[in-house]
């Protein structure tokens, strides 16, 4: 089947190539002899070629015109192709019939128009298709990471099945050297995977118990097992490809404005074409029907297909594809138009500015509480919870205690007949009436365990800054952005991190509600806010911000609700994302500038008879090609 499709495509391209060579040959011959002296060229050259181009090679433009008028109830750019080729061909055929009836001097003025209009438009379409096919190849490379089969646990043994048979909750084995077939949660103690999907590099990434794993990661260590979290269609790989394909069809931001222009563009061109006919007929010194028709057709061919329609969607698609290869998913096309309004960049500290790989540095209290703490943390998705579980795994402490009345929001639970609560260091008020340990002040992150309202344990954590984060923060500041850091951590930790990064605006002890109120307050003061966070307690802030960047890491997973999602929390990727959007907008604006400038210059020249139909055709072709080549340059640019 695939071979037949390739053969059909090759034959179509071969026919079109022959068509171009014939058209060029006839035009070259025509330069050295008049059409009137060579009737064979007319009847066996230009006329058949014009009919073939108009009704066979150019059939899809007739088809599109039908859909535009009768299905979509509007007049689009395809109508300009249709009108210019039909009028030119019909007028030429009338000239031939007139000659055959009366034997007068035969001179065909417009017979080349339908031939070359279709050729030029078709070449533009082929270049456009080529660029999109290159983007399609990039997406196929991403999808190639998706395995077709998986080893599924059934009746206490693993069997090989198609990934489409897997559902949420199924247990899957990943042998050494195999790709992870489904998004899921690691249920083995640890794993070492190829993190190509996350950061584009083949460096080993260590995954711990209950961390997220994504389809496409390759097992570089020992065999491990995962629990699937959804169906194959829910895999991050498939969501990435789906988002990129959707982004070119969604009409928002700049594209909405362009579409409004295009809605009126074709009717205006038609009116100008008719106006040009009457101006030349009644006001030109040598006004005639033929001259007026030439002016009218020149206006039509000069504007079709309008480069304005190509300027935005292709650039956005290329920008989204380039970003995807770096692990950046643009969920919403308006992200491209929003960025230029951003004045303030707000970072959540943990997992964004810091590595988010929390390590337990010290513990005060009876070790009998460690299994209790660990069992509760297994229910929580947070870097601190992962840090505690990793710490206990290294100490070979079993965390399988059954707890009751678990409240993940208030961090409370019951074990035996005792009530426990975990609170942050910043919320500490009293150690209770009968504490088992003395409270220790610290500038590090710390959590406290209370048993029946008495302090019984204190855990101290450390989270290191990401490499190169200070340089990237300074780069944002140099670009003119106000940089703000917010954190749920205590003020001591917050100031320590902010000082090392030279961030002046710092907010500590921030709950999700406080983050939301802070962003609202900034917006009320006229600031346009970009919020970047790892999705933990950031959902309200992400929704409120003018532009949001959500980080997907091995220990957190945020569904693609933010404007932009990152598959790695490197701060450099956030800055690169901002630069990528800026570059995309530059291409869009340069395309639009050329497209509008071209039409503002060429159409008036065509209207007043300065251009011939042939020059108008060539100008239209060069205009569209320039937009396409500019977009292709952006695609190939490193």
In a domain, 9, yes or no: no
In a domain, 432, yes or no: yes
Q: SS3 for 39?
A: helix
Q: CA 294 to CA 109: how far, in whole Å?
A: 9
Instruction: Report the CATH number at residue 439.
Output: 3.40.1110.10
Tell me how many domains the chain contains.
Answer: 4
Query: Do 94 and 213 share a structural domain?
Result: no
**Residue-wise DSSP of 221-290:** SS-EEEEE-S-GGGSHHHHHHHHHHHHTT---THHHHHHHHHHHHHHHHHHHHHHHHHHHHHHSTT--HH
Tokens 């300009």 correspond to what residue? 80
Tens digits of per-residue pLDDT, 321-348?
777 777 787 777 677 677 778 899 998 8
The model's pTM is 0.66
Tens digits of per-residue pLDDT, 591-607?
888 888 888 899 899 88
Instruction: Report the CATH number at residue 511.
Output: 3.40.50.1000
Last residue of a domain, one of 233, 264, 280: 233
**H or E segment and range at residue 477:** helix 469-478
pLDDT at site 108: 62
Q: CA 573 to CA 201: how far, in whole Å?
A: 13
pLDDT at site 536: 57
Q: Are 232 and 164 in contact (CB under 8 A)?
A: yes
Q: Are 565 and 550 in contact (CB under 8 A)?
A: yes
pLDDT band of 569, cuts 50, 70, 90: low
pLDDT band of 530, cuts 50, 70, 90: very high
In a domain, 10, yes or no: no
Which domain does 203 fall in, by range?
A: 149-233
Residue 523 has pLDDT above 90, yes or no: yes
Residue 286 has pLDDT above 80, yes or no: no
Residue 560 has pLDDT above 70, yes or no: no
pLDDT at site 36: 45
In a domain, 380, yes or no: yes
**Per-residue pLDDT averaged across 425-454, rounded?**
81
Q: Are 598 and 591 in contact (CB under 8 A)?
A: no
* Strands (E) located in 374-429: 404-407, 412-415, 418-424
Query: Do 265 and 124 share a structural domain?
Result: yes
Instruction: Report the CATH number at residue 214.
Output: 2.70.150.10
pLDDT at site 259: 65
Last residue of a domain, one of 441, 462, 483: 462
Last residue of a domain, one of 204, 233, 262: 233
Query: Do 224 and 85 share a structural domain?
Result: no
Query: Do 327 and 312 share a structural domain?
Result: no
In a domain, 365, yes or no: yes
| Residues 309, 310, 316: CA angle, nearest 5 degrees | 115
pLDDT at site 521: 94
In a domain, 12, yes or no: no
Query: Do 425 and 383 share a structural domain?
Result: yes
Residue 1 has pLDDT above 60, yes or no: no
pLDDT at site 345: 93
In percent, the amount of the chain with pLDDT more than 70 equals: 86
Query: Do 346 and 267 share a structural domain?
Result: no
In degrees and rounded to multiples of 5, residue 330 shows phi and psi of -90, 110
Where is average pLDDT lowest: 275-279, 406-410, 478-482, 557-561?
557-561
In a domain, 295, yes or no: yes
Tens digits of per-residue pLDDT, 537-551?
677 888 889 988 887
Residue 482 has pLDDT above 90, yes or no: yes
Q: What is the mean pLDDT of the chain?
A: 80
Q: CA 199 to CA 358: how far, in whole Å?
A: 20
pLDDT at site 406: 86
**Which position has the higher pLDDT, 281 or 26?**
281
Measured CA distances, 49 to 25, 94, 596 (Å) = 12, 17, 33
| Token pair in block for residue 632 | 């292709």
Query: Do 499 and 520 share a structural domain?
Result: yes
Q: Are 458 and 449 in contact (CB under 8 A)?
A: yes
Q: Are 330 and 425 in contact (CB under 8 A)?
A: no
Query: Do 476 and 331 share a structural domain?
Result: yes
Residue 174 has pLDDT above 70, yes or no: yes
- Burial of residue 260 (CB within 10 Å: 0-12, 13-18, 19+) is exposed
Residue 251 has pLDDT above 60, yes or no: no
pLDDT at site 97: 78
**Which position has the higher pLDDT, 276 or 317?**
276
pLDDT at site 255: 59
In degrees and rounded to multiples of 5, residue 188 shows phi and psi of -85, 170
pLDDT at site 263: 76
pLDDT band of 138, cuts 50, 70, 90: low
Residue 213 has pLDDT above 50, yes or no: yes
412: β partners: 407, 421
Q: SS3 for 420?
A: strand
Query: Do 574 and 510 share a structural domain?
Result: yes
Residue 32 has pLDDT above 60, yes or no: no
**Per-residue pLDDT averaged across 169-188, rounded?**
89
pLDDT band of 35, cuts 50, 70, 90: very low
Among 101-110, 435-444, 607-616, the range with the most confident prediction by mean pLDDT is 607-616
Q: Are 179 and 145 in contact (CB under 8 A)?
A: yes
Residue 112 has pLDDT above 90, yes or no: no
**Per-residue pLDDT averaged across 500-511, rounded?**
88
Query: Do 404 and 384 share a structural domain?
Result: yes
**Per-residue pLDDT averaged across 45-59, rounded?**
88
pLDDT band of 525, cuts 50, 70, 90: very high
In a domain, 404, yes or no: yes
pLDDT at site 252: 55
pLDDT at site 522: 94
Q: CA 444 to CA 311: how far, in whole Å?
A: 52
Give me the helix-helix angle, 571-607 and 254-283, nearest 10°.
Answer: 10
Give the total residue count for the chain. Answer: 638
Query: Do 249 and 130 share a structural domain?
Result: yes
Sheet holding 529-533, edge to edge: 328-330, 564-566, 547-551, 529-533, 344-348, 482-486, 505-507
Query: Do 293 and 157 share a structural domain?
Result: no
pLDDT at site 79: 86
The strand pair at 412-415 and 404-407 is best described as: antiparallel
Comparing CA positions, the residue from 187, 237, 234 lying closest to residue 208 is 187
Q: Which residues of 209-241 are buried (b: 16+ CB within 10 A; e: fewer)?
A: bbbbbbbbbbbbeeebbbbbbebbeebbbbbbb
Tens digits of per-residue pLDDT, 454-477?
999 999 888 778 777 888 889 889
Q: CA 440 to CA 569: how far, in whole Å?
A: 32
**Per-residue pLDDT averaged across 305-318, rounded?**
70
**Per-residue pLDDT averaged across 286-312, rounded?**
78
């Amino acid at each position: 089947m695939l071979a037949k499709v390739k053969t059909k495509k090759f034959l179509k391209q071969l026919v079109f190539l022959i068509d171009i060579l014939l058209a060029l040959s006839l035009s070259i011959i025509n330069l050295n002899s008049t059409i009137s002296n060579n009737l064979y060229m007319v009847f066996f050259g230009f006329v058949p070629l014009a009919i073939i181009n108009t009704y066979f090679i150019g059939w899809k433009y007739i088809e599109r015109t039908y859909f535009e008028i009768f299905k979509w109830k509007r007049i689009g750019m395809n109508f300009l192709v249709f009108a210019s080729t039909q009028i030119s061909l019909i007028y030429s055929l009338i000239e031939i019939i007139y000659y055959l009836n009366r034997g007068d001097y035969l001179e065909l003025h417009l017979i080349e128009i339908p031939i070359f209009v279709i050729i030029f438009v078709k070449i533009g379409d082929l270049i456009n298709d080529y660029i999109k096919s290159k983007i399609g190849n990039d997406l196929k490379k991403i999808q190639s990471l998706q395995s077709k089969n998986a080893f599924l646990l059934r009746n206490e043994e693993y069997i090989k099945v198609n990934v489409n048979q897997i559902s949420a909750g199924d247990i899957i084995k990943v042998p050494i050297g195999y790709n992870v077939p489904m998004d899921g949660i690691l249920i083995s103690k640890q794993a070492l995977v190829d993190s190509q999907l996350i950061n584009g590099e083949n460096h080993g990434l260590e995954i711990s118990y209950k961390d997220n794993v994504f389809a496409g990661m390759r097992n570089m260590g020992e065999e491990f097992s995962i629990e699937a979290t959804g169906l194959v269609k829910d895999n991050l790989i498939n969501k990435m490809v789906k988002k990129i394909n959707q982004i070119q069809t969604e009409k928002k931001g700049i594209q909405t404005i362009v579409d409004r222009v295009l809605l009126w563009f074709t009717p205006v061109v038609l009116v100008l074409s008719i106006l040009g006919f009457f101006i030349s007929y009644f006001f030109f010194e040598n006004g005639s029907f033929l001259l007026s028709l030439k002016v009218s057709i020149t206006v039509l061919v000069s504007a079709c297909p309008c480069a304005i329609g190509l300027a935005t969607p292709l650039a956005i698609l290329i920008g989204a594809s380039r970003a995807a290869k770096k692990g950046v998913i643009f969920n919403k096309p308006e992200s491209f138009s929003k960025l230029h309004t951003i004045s303030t960049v707000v970072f959540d500290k943990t997992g964004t500015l810091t590595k988010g790989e929390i390590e337990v540095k010290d513990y005060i209290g009876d070790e009998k509480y460690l299994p209790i703490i660990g069992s509760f943390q297994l229910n929580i998705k947070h870097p601190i919870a992962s840090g505690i579980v990793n710490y206990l795994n290294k100490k070979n402490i079993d965390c399988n205690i059954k707890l009751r009345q678990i409240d993940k929001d208030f961090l409370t639970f019951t074990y035996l007949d005792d009530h426990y609560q975990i609170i942050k260091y910043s919320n500490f008020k009293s150690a209770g009436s009968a504490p088992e340990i003395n409270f220790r002040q610290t500038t590090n992150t710390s959590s406290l365990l209370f048993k029946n309202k008495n302090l019984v344990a204190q855990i101290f954590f450390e989270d290191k800054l990401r490499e190169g984060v200070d340089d990237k923060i300074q780069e944002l500041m140099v670009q003119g952005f106000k940089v703000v850091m917010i954190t749920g951590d205590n003020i001591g930790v917050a100031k320590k991190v902010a000082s090392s990064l030279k961030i002046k605006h710092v907010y500590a002890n921030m709950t999700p509600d406080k983050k939301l109120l802070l962003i609202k307050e900034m917006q009320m003061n006229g600031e346009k806010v970009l919020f970047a966070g790892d999705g933990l307690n950031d959902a309200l802030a992400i929704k409120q911000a003018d532009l949001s960047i959500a980080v997907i890491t091995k220990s957190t997973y945020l569904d693609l609700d933010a404007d932009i999602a990152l598959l790695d929390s490197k701060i450099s990727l956030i800055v690169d994302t901002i630069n990528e959007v800026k570059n995309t907008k530059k291409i869009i604006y340069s395309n639009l500038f050329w497209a509008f400038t071209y039409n503002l210059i060429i159409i008036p020249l065509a209207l007043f008879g300065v251009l011939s139909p042939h020059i108008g055709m060539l100008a239209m072709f060069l205009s569209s090609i320039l937009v396409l080549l500019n977009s292709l340059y952006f695609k190939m640019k490193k």
